[in-house]
């Protein structure tokens, strides 16, 4: 029998948060460090060109992150709705039917946390780290969608599916930087997704129906025991 609980495959076991004493100060530090590295071997015009390219890549990746958070929130909402329709799927889950396991709205936390961290790095001017985190976030999101139970998949719209990382993610050079910017308002969606902690209690296995020949066998055993006495 398959486990009624299925977590996303290949999802990171633990997602570390980017900690900073002062978010504004951390943003300025990340951006200034990248700028100093660029200034070490480039002239002002070259720096301006690279910053313009970096800013464009940053904006493209941030737009992707915001769009994915909206999709993830919608998928999570569908999964929460499935929790209230237990009568429709509990037999399949209890029997271990292929593709059926408990709805789990928290399966979206890992990819959401990574998308959030990627956005924070990008807004802080750390283009290279933002791109790396975005790649991991896309992988975690794909794992989450693969692990969605069938009864939830049936409720998802065509738009609620995975999407590859934007081209800019793979065009960022190691020492590339960008200007810092304000956090997009859509990042609040990440907080809403992470705040959902709903879980489903374990579904007990179905009791096997007693067949008439099973009952006869029990009666024969009882008669034999009485004869032995």
pLDDT confidence tier of residue 38, bands split at 50, 70 and 90: low
pLDDT at 26 over 60: no
Residue 11 lies in a domain: no
Residue 5 lies in a domain: no
Q: Are 102 and 204 in contact (CB under 8 A)?
A: no
- The tokens for 59 are 């904006």
Sign of the dihedral through C-alpha 63, 64, 68, 69? negative
Structural domain that includes position 164: 23-228
Lowest average pLDDT, out of 42-46, 47-51, 164-168, 197-201, goes to 42-46
Residue 16 lies in a domain: no
- Count of structural domains, the chain: 1
Tokens 């941030």 found at: 62
pLDDT at 90 over 80: no
Residue 9 lies in a domain: no
Tell me the residue length of the chain.
Answer: 229
φ, ψ for residue 68, nearest 5 deg: -70, -35
Quick: pLDDT tens for 43-81: 577 677 888 999 999 999 999 999 999 999 999 999 998
Residue 150 lies in a domain: yes
Residue 39 lies in a domain: yes
Query: Is the whole model's pTM more than 0.75, yes or no?
Result: no
């Amino acid at each position: 029998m398959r486990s009624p609980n299925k977590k996303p495959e290949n999802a990171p076991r633990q997602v570390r948060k980017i900690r900073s004493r002062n978010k504004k100060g951390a943003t300025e530090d990340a951006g200034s460090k990248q700028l100093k590295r660029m200034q070490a071997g480039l002239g002002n015009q070259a720096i301006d060109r690279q910053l313009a390219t970096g800013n464009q890549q940053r904006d493209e990746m941030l737009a992707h992150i915001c769009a994915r958070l909206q999709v993830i929130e919608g998928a999570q909402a569908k999964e929460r709705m499935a929790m209230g329709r237990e009568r429709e799927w509990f037999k399949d889950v209890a029997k271990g039917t292929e593709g059926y396991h408990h709805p789990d709205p928290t399966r979206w936390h890992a990819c959401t946390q990574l998308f959030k961290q990627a956005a924070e790095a990008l807004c802080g001017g750390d283009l290279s780290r933002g791109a790396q985190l975005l790649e991991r976030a896309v992988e975690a999101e794909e794992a989450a969608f693969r692990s969605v139970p069938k009864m939830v998949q049936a409720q998802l719209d065509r738009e609620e599916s995975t999407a590859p990382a934007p081209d800019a993610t793979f065009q960022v050079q190691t020492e590339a930087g960008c200007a810092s910017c304000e956090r997009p308002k859509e990042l609040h969606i990440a907080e809403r997704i992470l705040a959902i902690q709903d879980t489903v209690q374990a579904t007990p296995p179905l009791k096997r129906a007693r067949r008439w020949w099973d009952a006869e066998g029990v009666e024969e055993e009882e008669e034999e025991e009485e004869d032995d006495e």
